[in-house]
């Protein structure tokens, strides 16, 4: 089989067919700052920095995607929230913007054309789309309306709201769904190829299957069909095996799989229905040797690659700052070594 572009390779895999080799999504964000010698706060201060960082990462690791994701808190930042920066980890949301349920009544939809945190993402997306020449997919991100409240009001307060206050839970979901749909579609208009719908609260690591059916599932079914492009759901290290049978009904085309679950078992359950992304362990990855990286890639490919419908990626949706360049290069080389199709001729 002749060599495909990354776009061709990914589209083929998502169509549940076998491309020339397994696509690889190294979802790298902070490593661009390292390569440019910038602090994370300085790196994320300008769209131009993220554009240059993504170009470097794409070419260094021969990645199959561009990832114009800045940090999750760009969304609450646009709503008036603060952002806390760290030297060696992703920026996070600061003080909750919802301190009591009644504050939900006063939430105002951001002016997307004037919110600096969102504008930077759109500018970076536009520039990277032009750079990609449609040969490499751009994977942009939204927080699911069901998971965003963890940053809006804090984990404990949100769980209490979810369980004890149906009126304000529903009000918050209505607001967040409108925000999520608008934000996703603006990113698609700017050049995103697909949207990653981060939804860790829907994972059965956090809620039960019944709670998911009653809440996160309903929210996803109200949200994803309104997004005007392909959407893949990522549970950010959380388990999804107990709910994978329900996920095709949300409109999603794929799922990010936790390292806590067997990749082969997930693939068997969703074969031909959902693409599988995963599931390299980002915690262990920090200390992998070259040999361990190769072994883990080989194992994942053997379990999930046959028949297509698989993209090799990490299990969390963002590779930690401390994962070394040597490890990432080892992953990339192992995909080329073991990921060729047809798999039975390896």
Q: Confirm whether 74 is domain-assigned.
A: yes
- We report the CATH number of the domain holding residue 282 as 3.20.20.210
**Pairing of β 92-93 and β 139-143:** unpaired
Instruction: Quote the percentage of the chain above a pLDDT of 90.
Output: 98
The whole-number average pLDDT for the span 258-269 is 96
- Look at residue 91 and tell me if it is in a domain: yes
Residue-wise pLDDT for 41-62, tens only, equals: 999 999 999 999 999 999 999 9
Q: Is residue 329 assigned to a domain?
A: yes
At residue 159, φ and ψ (nearest 5 deg) are: -60, -40
Q: Is residue 232 part of a domain?
A: yes
Residue range 63-83: mean pLDDT, rounded: 97
236: containing domain: 6-345
Q: What percentage of residues in the chain have a pLDDT greater than 70?
A: 99
The pLDDT score that the predictor gives to residue 344 is: 62
With a cut of 90, say whether residue 2 has pLDDT above it.
no
| Radius of gyration in angstroms for the set of CA atoms belonging to the chain, rounded to a whole number | 19
pLDDT at 260 over 70: yes
**Distance between CA atoms of 18 and 21, rounded to whole angstroms?**
7
Residue 343 above 90 pLDDT?
no
Report if residue 1 sits inside a domain.
no
What integer pLDDT is reported at residue 77 of this predicted model? 98
Residue 65 lies in a domain: yes
How many Å is the maximal CA-CA distance in the chain? 62
Q: What is the pTM of this model?
A: 0.96
- Helices H / strands E in the chain, number of each: 15, 9
* Mean pLDDT for all residues in the chain: 97
Over residues 165-188, mean pLDDT: 98
- 160 phi/psi in degrees, rounded to 5: -65, -45
Residue range 298-327, pLDDT digits in tens: 999 999 999 999 999 999 999 999 999 999
pLDDT at position 31 is: 98
Domain count within the chain: 1
- 89 lies in a domain? yes
Phi and psi for 294 in degrees, rounded to 5?
-65, -40
């Amino acid at each position: 089989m002749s060599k495909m572009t990354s776009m061709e390779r990914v589209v083929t895999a998502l169509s549940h067919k076998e491309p020339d080799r397994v696509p690889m999504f190294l979802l790298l964000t902070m490593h661009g700052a390292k390569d440019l010698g910038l602090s994370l706060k300085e790196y994320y201060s300008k769209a131009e920095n993220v554009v240059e960082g993504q170009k470097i990462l794409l070419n260094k690791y021969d990645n199959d995607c561009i990832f114009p994701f800045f940090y999750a808190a760009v969304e609450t930042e646009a709503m008036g929230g603060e952002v806390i920066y760290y030297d060696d980890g992703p920026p996070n949301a600061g003080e909750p913007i919802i301190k009591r349920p009644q504050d939900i009544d006063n939430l105002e939809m951001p002016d997307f054309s004037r919110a600096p945190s969102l504008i930077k993402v759109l500018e970076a997306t536009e520039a990277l789309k032009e750079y990609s020449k449609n040969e490499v997919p751009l994977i942009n991100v939204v927080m699911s309306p069901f998971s965003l409240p963890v940053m809006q009001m804090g984990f404990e307060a949100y769980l209490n709201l979810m369980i004890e206050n149906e009126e304000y839970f529903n009000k918050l979901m209505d607001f967040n769904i409108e925000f999520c749909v608008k934000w996703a579609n603006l990113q698609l208009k700017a050049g995103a190829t697909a949207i990653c719908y981060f939804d860790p609260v829907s994972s059965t690591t956090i809620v039960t299957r019944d709670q998911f059916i009653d809440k996160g599932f309903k929210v996803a079914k109200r949200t994803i069909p309104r997004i005007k492009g392909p959407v893949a759901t990522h549970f950010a290290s959380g388990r999804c095996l107990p709910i994978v049978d329900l996920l095709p009904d949300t409109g999603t085309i794929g799922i990010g799989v936790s390292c806590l679950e067997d990749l082969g078992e997930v693939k068997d359950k969703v074969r031909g229905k959902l693409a599988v992304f995963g599931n390299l362990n980002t915690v262990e990855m920090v200390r992998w040797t070259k040999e361990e990286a190769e072994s883990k890639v080989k194992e994942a490919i053997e379990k999930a690659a046959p028949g297509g419908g698989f993209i090799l990626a990490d299990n969390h949706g963002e590779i930690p700052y401390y994962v070394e360049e040597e490890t990432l290069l080892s992953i990339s080389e192992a995909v080329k070594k073991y990921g060729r199709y047809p798999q039975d001729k390896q």
